[in-house]
Chain A
Amino acid sequence: MTSYYIIVLVMAGLVTWLPRISPFVLVRFGKLPTWLQSFLAFIPLSLMTALFFENLIVIKTGHFPSINWITVLATIPTLLTIWRTKSIMWTVLVGIISMAILRTF
């Protein structure tokens, strides 16, 4: 267990640290090609879409995906909150309360 956590920390730490520092070293040599910059620019949008959407769907291997209704319902006030307030804290708070209310029914 402990070694699993340590390996996760080391690996995740490395793959976070290297993209952060490499440009500071590479800038002494030249620029990234435009196509790579463009690809990297789209990664955050497609990745956050996938990570967010993943929670709204129930996947069982070999089955057709189905909708996670309670999560979808709780997501509606959550998205309205981020749209109106732009605050992650309020959004998380409203999300938690919405889910708590939905679970009592």
Chain B
Amino acid sequence: MDKTYTFKQGVLDAAPTMLGYLSIGLTVGILGVNAHLPIWFIVGMSIFVYAGSAQFLMTSLAASMAPVSAITSLVFLVNARHLLMSLSVAQKFSQQSLPSAIGMGSLLTDESYGVFASNNTNANITVGWQHGVNVASYLAWIIATFVGAFFGQFIPNPQQFGLDFALVAMFAALWYFQVDTAKVITTRRLIITTVGSTILLYLIAAPFVGSTSAVLIATVVAAGLSALLNAKRPGGFK
């Protein structure tokens, strides 16, 4: 059945994303207050950064007062993937005005991109519909973070309940999703190479430069190496 791609339909299509955002947003909020970050900063991250994995990262780094340069470069790396998603959405909606394009790009996430990608093949997809998906998801995220941060204040000694492990669990889940999506662009063997070389590089670098810089070095070198190997294999970059 053909559906009409209105703004309202976009909001409806965002419902599963919003539900997911409520749970992750609550977690971001709870973790934030338990890391003793001010509520305005926690909600500010949701308004101005609006990227789950980056916010988890910022929470742990800002809590330990990590240097701004380290936070900035890590957040940039975590979010560099947006370039690719924005590129594919921008190509689809190349006819819109610049303000509309900037608005659309500003609110693009892994999940709203997922909703886009699953409707991408439909020729009737509209700019208004994509804005509906984006705005609904964005609002759900901000509200969830605030609620999490607000009620998180009343959970005493979260360490005892294992709440600090939420961050590691989140990274484990995001890592799993990355391995899963990498299957689309490359082979199983190259995925193992990327993962293996990242771990090896991290282990070599960390004792010398500390763990934050080692994450940066391992990420960039392993990704470069993988891209090189990927270009050499038959079929190349898919």
Contact = CB atoms under 8 A, between A and B. Distances in A.
Question: Range of interface residues on chain B?
Answer: 35 or more
- Residue among A51, A63, A71 facing the most chain B CB atoms (10 A cut-off): A51
- Residue among B48, B50, B168 facing the most chain A CB atoms (10 A cut-off): B168
- Residue among A24, A32, A52 facing the most chain B CB atoms (10 A cut-off): A24
A41 B94 contact: no
Nearest to B174: A48
B206 A59 contact: yes
Contacts of B162: 74, 95-103
6 contacts: A21-B106, A34-B237, A37-B84, A47-B215, A50-B199, A78-B172
A55 B165 CA distance: 10
B139 interface: no
A100 B81 contact: no
Given A12-B75, A21-B105, A98-B165, A75 B90 contact: no
Interface in B195-231: 195, 197-199, 202-203, 206-208, 210-211, 214-215, 218-220, 222-224, 226-227, 230-231
Interface of A: 4-5, 7-13, 15-17, 19-28, 32, 34-35, 37-55, 57, 59-65, 71, 74-75, 78-79, 82-83, 88-89, 91-92, 94-103
Given A21-B102, A47-B77, A54-B211, A82 B237 contact: no
Given A35-B231, A61-B208, A91 B172 contact: yes
B92 to A, nearest CB: 10
B45 A12 contact: yes
B194 A61 contact: no
B108 to A, nearest CB: 6
A16 B82 contact: yes
Decide if the interface of chain A is mainly helix, strand, loop or mixed: helix
Shortest 9 CB-CB contacts between residues of A and residues of B: A95-B169, A99-B162, A100-B162, A13-B48, A99-B165, A21-B105, A15-B76, A89-B23, A23-B86
